[in-house]
């Protein structure tokens, strides 16, 4: 990455540079050392351009009651970017940075990537260190790259992946050469489609999004992949488990400041954190039981297929006008299942709505099969060519 400019979601610690997490609470916080990922990107020769806007503490929505205005979508400045890695999606899509790091607890890398028309990878849980990354939900947080192309994602992942003794969840699994995955070949690959959750008619799911992803799946078939329908009964419960675990762990982390400095939190995140305070031990344990079930459920299905392919998001980017931040907490989530299970998942552009808003396809794989996920995404990208289009700004 020598000489390549990158930017950071503003919850990655940077020595001597403010790390605010998008909140008045941390507006004057200046870390004394870099996050492990920050340090690794620098050691690989990357040049830090700056820190990026984000939803407050990685859970608030677009909120004008926080110190920084919400990031705007380069494809339509009147529309949101998705979150919580909002500035990461916007800066990469607009060409302000070659790549950026986001964080992902329920979809905060893949969501903005999909809505902004770029690539975003949530690695396997434990693949990338989270030391020096401000916590939202320690058992579901992931760190990962957001870039214009799959190859750039591979290069950034190469720089940041690997064991870190300062992160107790960091894996000792060896780090492969991800550049070897940049090959156009998915012949014989087995792809599972969980239609009952991701593709079937649902009033909360945009049919234009589903249609574009169906077209992308047809392309994968043309390129030699075998596609079959799979069933995952746990999917109907995973969104709730993700939310309960997230707000419970977030409240535990932020409780001291919520008690002593509540007025410094933005309206949206303050409300969401307080919901976490209402959760009981029984709620949390039930959510963890669902998580255990989901991991077993997904592991069983992944014995029969190599990848799962789905839409990344249920909707294209919404307009700021009339947007209800609480709408993101209702209905289905197409990204949360892979935070709950910890499986690697990437979003790659697969087209646009009739109004010109980007749509992403999600490809998820087996634990630590980032090479396979990258190769499948790269093969599709090179054939489809959506990454070559740029917003007119």
Residues noted as catalytic: 9, 84, 108
Q: Which two tokens stand for residue 285?
A: 């344990």
The answer to whether 120 and 347 are in contact (CB under 8 A) is: yes
Helices (H), 161-234: 195-198, 207-222
- Helix H or strand E segment including 183: none
Cα 64 to Cα 86: distance, rounded to the nearest angstrom: 14
| Sign of the alpha-carbon dihedral angle for 185, 225, 385, 368 | negative
The answer to whether 75 and 69 are in contact (CB under 8 A) is: no
Cα 59 to Cα 85: distance, rounded to the nearest angstrom: 10
Tell me the CB-side half-sphere exposure of residue 77, using CA atoms within 13 A.
Answer: 4
Cα 16 to Cα 44: distance, rounded to the nearest angstrom: 20
Cα 285 to Cα 110: distance, rounded to the nearest angstrom: 27
């Amino acid at each position: 990455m020598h000489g390549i400019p990158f930017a950071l979601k503003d919850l990655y610690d940077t020595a001597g540079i403010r790390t605010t997490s998008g909140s008045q609470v941390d507006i004057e916080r200046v870390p004394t050392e870099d996050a492990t990922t920050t340090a690794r990107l620098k050691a690989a020769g990357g040049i830090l351009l700056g820190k990026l806007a984000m939803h407050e503490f990685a859970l608030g929505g677009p909120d004008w009651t926080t110190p920084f205005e919400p990031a705007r979508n380069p494809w339509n400045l009147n529309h949101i970017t998705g979150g919580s890695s909002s500035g990461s999606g916007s800066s990469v899509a607009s060409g302000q940075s070659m790549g950026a790091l986001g964080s992902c607890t329920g979809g905060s890398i893949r969501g903005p990537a999909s809505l902004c028309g770029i690539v975003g990878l949530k690695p396997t849980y434990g693949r990338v260190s989270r030391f020096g990354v401000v916590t939202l939900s320690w058992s579901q947080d992931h760190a990962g790259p957001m870039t214009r192309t799959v190859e750039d994602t591979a290069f950034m992942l190469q720089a940041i992946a690997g064991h870190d003794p300062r992160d107790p969840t960091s894996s000792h699994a060896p780090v492969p050469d991800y550049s070897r995955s940049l090959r156009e070949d998915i012949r014989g690959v087995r792809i599972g489609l969980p239609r009952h959750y991701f593709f079937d008619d649902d009033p909360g799911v945009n049919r234009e999004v589903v249609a574009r992803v169906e077209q992308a799946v047809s392309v994968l078939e043309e390129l030699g992949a075998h596609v079959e329908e799979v069933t995952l009964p746990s999917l109907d419960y995973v969104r709730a488990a993700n939310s309960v675990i997230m707000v419970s762990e977030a409240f535990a982390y932020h409780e001291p400041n919520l008690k002593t400095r509540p007025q410094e939190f933005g309206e949206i995140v303050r409300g969401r954190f307080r919901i976490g305070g209402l959760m009981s031990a029984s709620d949390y344990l039930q959510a963890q039981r669902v998580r255990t079930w989901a991991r077993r459920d997904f592991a069983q299905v992944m014995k029969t297929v190599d990848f799962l392919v789905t839409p990344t998001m249920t909707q294209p980017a919404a307009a700021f006008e009339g947007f209800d931040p609480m709408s993101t907490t209702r209905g289905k989530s197409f990204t949360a299942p892979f935070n709950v299970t910890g499986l690697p998942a990437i979003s790659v552009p697969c087209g646009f709505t009739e109004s010109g808003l980007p749509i992403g396809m999600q490809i998820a794989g087996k634990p630590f099969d980032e090479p396979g996920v990258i190769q499948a995404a790269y093969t599709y990208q090179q054939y489809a060519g959506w990454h070559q289009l740029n917003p007119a700004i």
